[in-house]
Amino acid sequence: MPAYYVGEGATATFPGITSACARSISISGFSVDKIDATCLDSDNFKEYVPSFLKEPGEVSATFRFTGELPVASVGDVGTATISFGLLDGETTAASLTGSGFLTDVSTSEINGSSLVEMTVTFAFDGVGTEPSFTAAS
Protein backbone atom coordinates (compact mmCIF):
# COMPACT_ATOMS: atom_id res chain seq x y z
CA MET A 1 0.00 0.00 0.00
CA PRO A 2 1.50 3.37 -0.95
CA ALA A 3 2.14 5.89 1.77
CA TYR A 4 0.68 9.37 1.56
CA TYR A 5 1.56 12.61 3.25
CA VAL A 6 -1.03 13.55 5.81
CA GLY A 7 1.07 16.04 7.74
CA GLU A 8 2.46 13.63 10.30
CA GLY A 9 5.79 14.93 11.54
CA ALA A 10 5.72 18.11 9.46
CA THR A 11 7.63 21.02 10.94
CA ALA A 12 8.10 24.69 10.14
CA THR A 13 11.09 26.87 10.92
CA PHE A 14 11.10 30.65 10.63
CA PRO A 15 13.52 33.37 11.74
CA GLY A 16 13.22 33.53 15.50
CA ILE A 17 10.90 30.54 15.68
CA THR A 18 12.70 27.27 15.57
CA SER A 19 11.04 23.93 15.43
CA ALA A 20 8.06 24.94 17.50
CA CYS A 21 5.22 22.43 17.38
CA ALA A 22 3.16 23.36 14.36
CA ARG A 23 -0.58 22.62 14.37
CA SER A 24 -1.13 23.63 10.79
CA ILE A 25 0.98 24.88 7.92
CA SER A 26 -0.22 26.53 4.75
CA ILE A 27 1.68 27.39 1.60
CA SER A 28 0.13 30.07 -0.55
CA GLY A 29 1.65 28.72 -3.71
CA PHE A 30 3.40 30.54 -6.48
CA SER A 31 1.81 32.45 -9.28
CA VAL A 32 2.55 34.49 -12.33
CA ASP A 33 0.54 37.34 -13.82
CA LYS A 34 -1.03 36.79 -17.20
CA ILE A 35 -0.62 39.57 -19.73
CA ASP A 36 -3.37 40.16 -22.22
CA ALA A 37 -1.82 40.01 -25.68
CA THR A 38 -5.02 39.87 -27.65
CA CYS A 39 -5.06 41.38 -31.13
CA LEU A 40 -8.04 42.64 -33.02
CA ASP A 41 -7.73 39.70 -35.39
CA SER A 42 -7.48 37.07 -32.63
CA ASP A 43 -9.82 34.09 -33.04
CA ASN A 44 -12.34 32.90 -30.45
CA PHE A 45 -10.34 33.56 -27.31
CA LYS A 46 -8.30 36.32 -25.84
CA GLU A 47 -4.58 35.61 -25.99
CA TYR A 48 -2.38 35.67 -22.94
CA VAL A 49 1.33 35.43 -22.29
CA PRO A 50 2.94 34.87 -18.90
CA SER A 51 4.80 37.68 -17.17
CA PHE A 52 8.51 37.07 -16.86
CA LEU A 53 8.23 37.64 -13.08
CA LYS A 54 6.73 35.16 -10.67
CA GLU A 55 5.11 35.83 -7.32
CA PRO A 56 7.23 33.95 -4.77
CA GLY A 57 4.32 33.55 -2.37
CA GLU A 58 4.30 33.04 1.36
CA VAL A 59 3.88 30.39 3.99
CA SER A 60 2.19 30.55 7.34
CA ALA A 61 2.05 28.24 10.31
CA THR A 62 0.09 28.07 13.52
CA PHE A 63 1.83 26.92 16.66
CA ARG A 64 0.74 26.03 20.14
CA PHE A 65 1.63 28.98 22.31
CA THR A 66 3.60 27.60 25.24
CA GLY A 67 5.25 30.65 26.67
CA GLU A 68 8.55 28.99 25.81
CA LEU A 69 8.18 30.06 22.22
CA PRO A 70 10.87 32.53 21.19
CA VAL A 71 9.27 35.84 20.39
CA ALA A 72 9.46 36.61 16.70
CA SER A 73 9.29 40.10 15.28
CA VAL A 74 7.75 41.17 12.02
CA GLY A 75 10.43 42.16 9.59
CA ASP A 76 12.87 39.53 10.86
CA VAL A 77 14.85 38.33 7.87
CA GLY A 78 16.05 34.78 7.40
CA THR A 79 15.20 31.40 6.00
CA ALA A 80 11.99 29.42 6.30
CA THR A 81 11.97 25.67 5.96
CA ILE A 82 8.84 23.59 5.77
CA SER A 83 9.64 19.93 6.26
CA PHE A 84 6.90 17.54 5.22
CA GLY A 85 7.93 14.78 7.62
CA LEU A 86 9.28 11.32 6.92
CA LEU A 87 7.23 8.55 5.40
CA ASP A 88 8.15 4.93 6.10
CA GLY A 89 11.38 4.07 4.38
CA GLU A 90 12.47 7.67 3.85
CA THR A 91 15.66 8.97 5.40
CA THR A 92 15.39 12.63 4.37
CA ALA A 93 12.17 14.61 4.22
CA ALA A 94 10.66 16.55 1.37
CA SER A 95 10.97 20.23 2.10
CA LEU A 96 10.32 23.75 0.89
CA THR A 97 12.98 26.32 1.73
CA GLY A 98 13.60 29.94 0.84
CA SER A 99 14.71 33.30 2.20
CA GLY A 100 12.37 36.11 3.18
CA PHE A 101 10.94 37.89 6.19
CA LEU A 102 8.12 37.67 8.70
CA THR A 103 5.15 39.78 7.70
CA ASP A 104 2.74 38.92 10.46
CA VAL A 105 2.86 37.42 13.94
CA SER A 106 -0.40 37.13 15.81
CA THR A 107 -1.89 35.31 18.74
CA SER A 108 -5.34 33.80 18.90
CA GLU A 109 -8.03 34.98 21.28
CA ILE A 110 -7.41 34.04 24.88
CA ASN A 111 -10.80 32.94 26.08
CA GLY A 112 -10.38 30.05 28.48
CA SER A 113 -12.13 27.58 26.23
CA SER A 114 -9.73 27.07 23.36
CA LEU A 115 -6.06 26.59 22.82
CA VAL A 116 -3.94 29.73 22.63
CA GLU A 117 -2.09 29.66 19.34
CA MET A 118 0.41 31.83 17.54
CA THR A 119 0.24 32.29 13.80
CA VAL A 120 3.28 33.37 11.84
CA THR A 121 3.31 34.45 8.20
CA PHE A 122 6.52 34.50 6.20
CA ALA A 123 6.89 36.03 2.72
CA PHE A 124 9.54 34.72 0.38
CA ASP A 125 11.60 37.69 -0.79
CA GLY A 126 12.55 36.46 -4.24
CA VAL A 127 16.00 38.04 -4.02
CA GLY A 128 17.97 35.76 -1.70
CA THR A 129 17.58 32.01 -1.78
CA GLU A 130 14.68 31.42 -4.10
CA PRO A 131 11.88 29.15 -2.86
CA SER A 132 13.19 25.68 -3.55
CA PHE A 133 11.78 22.22 -3.25
CA THR A 134 13.77 19.23 -2.08
CA ALA A 135 12.44 15.78 -2.80
CA ALA A 136 12.37 13.16 -0.10
CA SER A 137 14.81 10.29 -0.35
Partner 1 sequence: MSRVELRKHMGIGLGSGKEVFLNQYIVMLDGKQVGYKGCNHGDPINLTSRIPSDLIRVVKDEIDLLLGDESKANELIGTWSHEDTTETEQGETEDDIFDS
Q: Which residues bind partner 1 (CB under 8 A)?
A: 9, 11, 13, 18-21, 30, 54, 56, 63-64, 66, 68-69, 79, 81, 83, 85-86, 91-93, 95, 97, 126, 129-135
Cβ proximity to partner 1, 33 vs 130, nearer residue: 130
Nearest approach, Cβ of residue 134 and partner 1 (Å): 4
Cβ proximity to partner 1, 85 vs 121, nearer residue: 85
Nearest approach, Cβ of residue 99 and partner 1 (Å): 8
Calculate the alpha carbon distances from 122 to 24, 36, 59, 92, 115 in Å: 14, 31, 5, 24, 22
Nearest approach, Cβ of residue 33 and partner 1 (Å): 14
Neighbours of 101 (CB within 10 A): 19
Nearest approach, Cβ of residue 103 and partner 1 (Å): 19
Cβ proximity to partner 1, 43 vs 59, nearer residue: 59
Calculate the alpha carbon distances from 123 to 8, 22, 78, 88, 133 in Å: 24, 18, 10, 31, 16
Question: Hey, CA dihedral for 77, 28, 119, 14, is it positive or negative?
Answer: negative
Burial class (CB in 10 A: 0-12, 13-18, 19+), 102: buried
Cβ proximity to partner 1, 38 vs 107, nearer residue: 107
